[in-house]
Amino acid sequence: MPPKTSSVGAVRRTFSPWSDPAAVPLIRFENVTKRFGDAVAVDNLSLNIYESEFFCLLGPSGCGKTTLMRMLAGFEEPTEGRITLAGQDLAGVPPYRRPANMMFQSYALFPHMSVEKNIAFGLKQDGLPKADIAARVDEMLRLVQLERLAKRYPDQLSGGQRQRVALARALAKRPKVLLLDEPLGALDKKLREETQFELMDIQHELGMTFVVVTHDQEEAMTMADRIAVMDHGRIAQVATPGEIYEQPKTRFIAEFVGDVNILEGKVIGQENGLWRVETAASPTPLTIDDPDEVLHAGQAVAIAIRPEKMVIRRGAAAPGTQNAVTGEVWDIGYLGDWTVYRVKLASGEILRVSRANASRFVENPIDWDEEVHLTFAPDAAVILAE
Amino acid sequence: MARSLTKRLVSGVVPAVPFLWLVVLFLVPFLIVLKISLSDPVVAQPPYTPVFDWSDIGGFFGKLDLENFEMLVEDGIYLDATLSSVRIAGISTLLLLIVGFPIAYAMARAPVRHRPLLIALIILPFWTSFLIRIYAWVAILKPEGLLNQALMGIGLIHDPIIILNTEAAVYIGIVYAYLPFMVLPLYASLERMDNTLIEAALDLGCPPWRAFWAITVPLAMPGVIAGSLLCFIPAVGEFVIPDLLGGSETLMIGRQLWSEFFSNRDWPLASAVAILLLIILVVPIVIYRDVEARRLETQR
Amino acid sequence: MKNRLSLFNVTSLALGFAFLYLPILLLVVYSFNASRLVTVWGGFSTQWYGALFRNEALMDAAWVTVRIAFLSASLATVLGTLAALALTRYGRFTGRTLFTGMVYAPMVMPEVITGLSLLLFFVAIGFDRGFWTITLAHTTLTMCFVTVVVQARLLTFDRSLEEAAMDLGAPPLKTFFAVTLPLISPAIAAGFLLAFTLSLDDLVIASFNTGPGATTLPIKIYSQVRLGLSPEVNAASAILIGIVTIGVTIATILSKRSLARAERNAL
């Protein structure tokens, strides 16, 4: 692990069992494949998830993330490979005997049962004494702050309240792992942000393992300890949010998580540990600091640069400036916190640059059609082998 | 292993019980009709020759012939009855569409909060006895009945018009009795239609009447087909309506079957008539089943 | 334009409902007619209701009909619910096409065919015709209607509710009784009512399969009607219509109330 990356992102620095070779994973997917007829939903996938981890499965719809979760819950059986949970092979174990509970995307609250009956449902299946069930239900209602709505029915609740009931119901049995299928998908933006942090607090408080399926990269970035980005039934990268964003392994990940500019080019060679890459965008080769990549001269590569990691200045670049491209302002989007410039280069490519609006007033701001140049530091960009 | 075997047996019961029930009480009886329709009318006087003599399987097939069907073709009355059944059912279905469409359309355009009541009002007559509802029309359509009394009362006519015991009465009866079956499928497809589609058509310069033909009618087609089949199929085999309202002049195949069976006691011939009726209806029934199955699938 | 359209709509509804309800209304009004001539008004009287209740044959027929309807509807509800579960939850099993065919065909098949074929079947196996043959025949016909009603509900049923129950530790059978059954019970109840009414109403199939001592009300009414109009039949009809109207009204009010509750709480 390069020392540089340990400082990026909101990583709980003391919590990283995945980098500890002695740590035993709670959940193991071992060469798991799932086929529906001819369609391959999950393709020979291996993955470890550790105890107390907040783990996100992120990917576009149809990437297999939901299938992966449903195999863990027991609603689907793997075609090949095996899944273990706390050392137990889950093959043939029906959903109702697995120590994993799920919060459904639709919430799946039983409409004919009150809030407390819904929460008590799982406990009743375990045959707990009545007093214990009541105590646990109260505890759960307190946890999600719904004490006053215990007697209500699902159709008498708001969307946010339903979401909390679904969460409380899945948590009530204290499962070894809580599965959350698009937990915030049905909420509006404001509520979604609040709830993200609530979920993180609850997870932290209970120390439970959370596995979340989501297609929303912001949600995954905010909440997860680690993210597995999935594409076509395979895992494209498993890493902390910071690593996913700053060191994407593939073009798919770079483009799926956040905004990115891609410049196609050819490797010239290495100088002082820095890669020199020839592109159509710049007359002089670009210098990129990405020591992990093993490349050879003449290799076609893509350079990925995040919009906020470039600096925009008026006028053409002075000759000899490192990593500078010149173009004209094509569009300006004012977002309040950020201003986004779309700059058209002489080569025809359009790059996005964003600038934080750190002060309220800017004198003589850059305008449409002005000539500008963009610069970036060698370590601001990442090389992605094609 | 034993556990999962019992589980399998238990879960296998779910489809098996209704399946077997239908095989024994629907499929087998049906095959018996087929068999009897092919057996000899003379030997088969009531009740008739045994259906299946296990000791004589060769003879079972040997004795079958098409005599009854030859008779159906030779005696013109059955062919006439068949044709007139199809004609009456077809005209009735057309009338039902004409009467039912405006009602279904108005229901689909009514405020949402009124719709459950309107649906209930359409269904309500269906829950009251079919026989009683047809019977009610006898009193209305009689020469000295309520309709003629009313018409003469307001001076529209001077002599009673004869409606009862004519084909017109049969049309009235079928339209009246089958109206819910036409209105409900039409309503279902019209109600689902997004009203902004019409607005979009108007916005694009289409006048209302043309928008109706270009947008509303094509989108209501599944309802039109389902409703028409739902009315046409049973109407072809209708017995009560022609019997009570149609008089002796109205020939319909269902009635013919009834009289072969109850009056002439010719069971094999009645069976042959049943097979004939079914042959007419097999295509519409298959289409209807497909339409219904597809509708249920898309409801998901 | 909007006004003209809605005037047209109101007119079609008014005419439609007048057409549907006027005959029934007249039937009920004339059941209070003092005159024996059904179409001539002779003043108000309830004498035909009295005569009706003194008519033992008619009362017997009514009792037989209700018993058959209750029994066959109960059987049909069980069988139809099982069939609906089989069709929605068992994927593609052998004989599925035949199964769907057998479920849909009786609903549209002319009653004369169904009636005749069942009769021939009962004769063939030497089953004495009467109460039980009508019950079995009605069960066969009405279970198909129950199947369709319950199947429609099961298809719109959110399967994740069942998955949630299993996920929380309820085995399949328990899931069925704790979650599935309560949620489809309105459809099952509707199926039962439909089956009950269809059985109560049936003339043709009952006529084919009836035997000594099993004269149902429709058979009785039909034989009277064939002889001419009868004020007693009017009275019997009015009572039946009254029962149905009250029942449907209560059901509508109940479902409307639960709908209103759901709407209020959605705010």
Which class in CATH covers the domain with range A3-99+175-255? alpha beta
CA distance C193 to chain A (A): 22
Task: Please provide the average confidence, as pLDDT, over all residues in chain C.
Answer: 86
pLDDT tens-place string over residues B240-258: 999 999 988 888 988 888 8
**Looking at the predicted structure, is the pLDDT value of residue C72 above 90?**
yes
More confidently predicted of A166 and B267: A166
Residue B234 lies in a domain: yes
How far is the C-alpha of A170 from the C-alpha of B117, rounded, in Å? 40
Vertex B131 angle, CA B127 and B133, to 5°: 65
ipTM of the complex: 0.85
Q: Is the CATH number 2.40.50.140 carried by domain A259-385? A: yes
Give pLDDT, residue B15.
87
Strands A54-58, A209-214: pairing kind: parallel
pLDDT tens-place string over residues B230-242: 899 989 989 999 9
Asked if A110 and C165 come within 8 Å (Cβ–Cβ), the reply is: yes
Residue C12 lies in a domain: no
How far is the C-alpha of C267 from the C-alpha of C128, rounded, in Å? 61
CA distance A162 to chain C (A): 12
Asked if B103 and C8 come within 8 Å (Cβ–Cβ), the reply is: no
* HSE-CB for A2 with a 13 A CA cutoff: 12
Whether the CB of C165 is below 8 Å from some CB of chain A: the reply is yes
Q: Which of C39, C146, C255 should we substitute to test contact with B (largest number of B Cβ atoms within 10 Å)? A: C39
Q: In C90-180, which ranges are continuous DSSP H helix?
A: 96-108, 111-124, 131-156, 159-167, 172-175
Residues 45-74 of C with CB under 8 A from A: none
**Looking at the predicted structure, is the pLDDT value of residue B20 above 80?**
yes
Distance from the Cα of residue A1 to its chain's centroid: 20
Give pLDDT, residue B64.
65
Give pLDDT, residue A26.
95
Backbone angles phi, psi at C69, to 5 degrees: -60, -45
CA distance C201 to chain B (A): 5
CA distance A137 to chain C (A): 14
Asked if C164 and A95 come within 8 Å (Cβ–Cβ), the reply is: no
Could you tell me where the beta strands, DSSP code E, fall in chain A? 27-36, 39-49, 54-58, 80-85, 88-89, 100-103, 177-181, 209-214, 226-231, 234-239, 261-271, 274-279, 286-288, 300-305, 311-314, 324-334, 338-345, 350-356, 371-375, 381-385
Read off the pLDDT band of C252 (50, 70, 90).
low
- Across the range C241-258, mean pLDDT stands at 73
Q: Could you tell me the residue range of the domain that residue C148 belongs to?
A: 55-266
pLDDT tens-place string over residues A308-324: 999 999 988 888 888 99
**Looking at the predicted structure, is the pLDDT value of residue B43 above 70?**
no
Whether the CB of C171 is below 8 Å from some CB of chain A: the reply is yes
Domain range list for chain A: 3-99+175-255, 259-385
Task: Please provide the average confidence, as pLDDT, over all residues in chain B.
Answer: 82
Flag the least confident range among A357-361, B23-27, B261-265, C109-113: B261-265
Asked if B176 and C19 come within 8 Å (Cβ–Cβ), the reply is: yes
Task: Please provide the average confidence, as pLDDT, over all residues in chain A.
Answer: 91
Which residues from chain C sit within 8 angstroms of residue B258, using beta carbons? 112, 204
Which residues from chain A sit within 8 angstroms of residue C160, using beta carbons? 104-106, 108
How far is the C-alpha of A328 from the C-alpha of A353, rounded, in Å? 12
- C partners (3+ CB pairs within 8 A) are A, B
**Looking at the predicted structure, is the pLDDT value of residue A199 above 90?**
yes
- Residues whose CB is less than 8 angstroms from the CB of residue A351 and which lie 6 or more positions away in sequence, other chains included: A261, A281, A305, A307, A310, A325, A327, A342, A343, A345, A374
Distances (CA, A) of A139 to A104, A142, A152, A174, C260: 21, 5, 17, 12, 33
Give pLDDT, residue B100.
95
Sheet holding A371-375, edge to edge: A311-314, A371-375, A324-334, A338-345, A350-356
Which residues from chain C sit within 8 angstroms of residue A94, using beta carbons? 166, 171
Q: Which of C153, C162, C168 should we substitute to test contact with A (largest number of A Cβ atoms within 10 Å)? A: C168
Give pLDDT, residue B2.
41
Residue C41 lies in a domain: no
B290, amino acid identity? D
Q: Residue C196 sits in a domain of what CATH number?
A: 1.10.3720.10
How far is the C-alpha of B24 from the C-alpha of C26, rounded, in Å? 44
More confidently predicted of A266 and B249: A266
Closest by CA position to B243, among listed B253, B255, B231, B233: B255
**Looking at the predicted structure, is the pLDDT value of residue B57 above 70?**
no
Asked if A173 and C160 come within 8 Å (Cβ–Cβ), the reply is: no
3-class secondary structure, A47? strand
Asked if A173 and C266 come within 8 Å (Cβ–Cβ), the reply is: no
- Across the range A275-289, mean pLDDT stands at 90
pLDDT tens-place string over residues A5-23: 444 445 555 788 998 888 9
Whether the CB of B98 is below 8 Å from some CB of chain C: the reply is no
Q: Count the Cβ atoms, other than its own, within 10 Å of residue B50.
A: 13
Which residues from chain A sit within 8 angstroms of residue C261, using beta carbons? 155
Is C203:C219 a contact under the CB 8 Å cutoff?
yes
Asked if A125 and C174 come within 8 Å (Cβ–Cβ), the reply is: yes
Q: Count the Cβ atoms, other than its own, within 10 Å of residue B231.
A: 27
Backbone angles phi, psi at A30, to 5 degrees: -115, 110
Residue in C163, C178, C262 nearest the CB of A108: C163
Whether the CB of A73 is below 8 Å from some CB of chain C: the reply is yes
Is C83:C103 a contact under the CB 8 Å cutoff?
yes
How far is the C-alpha of A279 from the C-alpha of A263, rounded, in Å? 7
Q: Which of A104, A118, A136 should we substitute to test contact with C (largest number of C Cβ atoms within 10 Å)? A: A104
- B partners (3+ CB pairs within 8 A) are C
How far is the C-alpha of A251 from the C-alpha of A234, rounded, in Å? 15
Is C239:C28 a contact under the CB 8 Å cutoff?
no
Is C130:C211 a contact under the CB 8 Å cutoff?
yes
How far is the C-alpha of C190 from the C-alpha of C197, rounded, in Å? 11
Read off the pLDDT band of A161 (50, 70, 90).
very high
Give pLDDT, residue A7.
43
Which residues from chain C sit within 8 angstroms of residue B106, using beta carbons? 8-10, 12-13, 16
**Looking at the predicted structure, is the pLDDT value of residue C3 above 70?**
no
**Looking at the predicted structure, is the pLDDT value of residue C4 above 60?**
no
Strands A300-305, A381-385: pairing kind: antiparallel
Distances (CA, A) of C61 to A135, A202, B134: 59, 68, 20
B105, amino acid identity? Y
Flag the least confident range among A256-265, A338-347, A356-365, B71-80: B71-80
Q: Residue B229 sits in a domain of what CATH number?
A: 1.10.3720.10
Residue C20 lies in a domain: no
* HSE-CB for C153 with a 13 A CA cutoff: 21
How far is the C-alpha of A162 from the C-alpha of A152, rounded, in Å? 11
Residues 102-161 of B with CB under 8 A from C: 102-103, 105-107, 109-110, 116-118, 120-125, 127-133, 135-140, 142, 144-146, 149
Asked if A121 and C171 come within 8 Å (Cβ–Cβ), the reply is: no
Which residues from chain B sit within 8 angstroms of residue C17, using beta carbons? 121
Residue B192 lies in a domain: yes
For tokens 């310069």, what's the residue?
Answer: B205
Give pLDDT, residue A197.
92
Is A222:A189 a contact under the CB 8 Å cutoff?
no
Give pLDDT, residue C263.
54
pLDDT tens-place string over residues A97-154: 999 999 999 999 999 899 999 999 999 999 999 999 999 999 999 999 999 999 999 9
Give pLDDT, residue A87.
92
* HSE-CB for A145 with a 13 A CA cutoff: 6
Read off the pLDDT band of C90 (50, 70, 90).
confident
- A partners (3+ CB pairs within 8 A) are C
3-class secondary structure, C166? helix
Whether the CB of A186 is below 8 Å from some CB of chain C: the reply is no
Give pLDDT, residue A283.
85
**Looking at the predicted structure, is the pLDDT value of residue C262 above 60?**
no
Domains in chain C: how many in total? 1
Residue C36 lies in a domain: no
- Across the range B276-280, mean pLDDT stands at 86
Which residues from chain B sit within 8 angstroms of residue C112, using beta carbons? 237, 239, 254, 257-258, 274, 277
Whether the CB of A96 is below 8 Å from some CB of chain C: the reply is yes
Whether the CB of B54 is below 8 Å from some CB of chain C: the reply is no
CA atoms B80, B84, B87, B93: torsion sign: negative
How far is the C-alpha of A57 from the C-alpha of B76, rounded, in Å? 75
Asked if A73 and C167 come within 8 Å (Cβ–Cβ), the reply is: yes
Structure tokens at A30: 């071992």
For tokens 């279970």, what's the residue?
Answer: C143
Residue in B23, B120, B136 nearest the CB of C24: B136
How far is the C-alpha of A1 from the C-alpha of A240, rounded, in Å? 12
pLDDT tens-place string over residues C10-48: 999 999 999 999 999 988 888 898 887 777 788 888 888
Domains in chain B: how many in total? 1
Asked if C111 and B129 come within 8 Å (Cβ–Cβ), the reply is: no
More confidently predicted of A137 and C8: A137
Asked if A106 and C160 come within 8 Å (Cβ–Cβ), the reply is: yes
Whether the CB of B184 is below 8 Å from some CB of chain C: the reply is no
Structure tokens at B36: 């009897």
The residues pairing with A287 across neighbouring beta strands, listed in sequence order, are A276
Whether the CB of A110 is below 8 Å from some CB of chain C: the reply is yes
Give pLDDT, residue A64.
93
Flag the least confident range among A120-129, B4-13, B147-156: B4-13
Q: Could you tell me the residue range of the domain that residue B97 belongs to?
A: 84-250
Asked if C168 and A125 come within 8 Å (Cβ–Cβ), the reply is: yes
Residue B290 lies in a domain: no
How far is the C-alpha of C81 from the C-alpha of B14, rounded, in Å? 9
Which residues from chain B sit within 8 angstroms of residue C10, using beta carbons? 106
Which residues from chain B sit within 8 angstroms of residue C6, using beta carbons? 109
Flag the least confident range among A35-44, B89-98, C237-246: C237-246
Asked if C158 and A155 come within 8 Å (Cβ–Cβ), the reply is: no
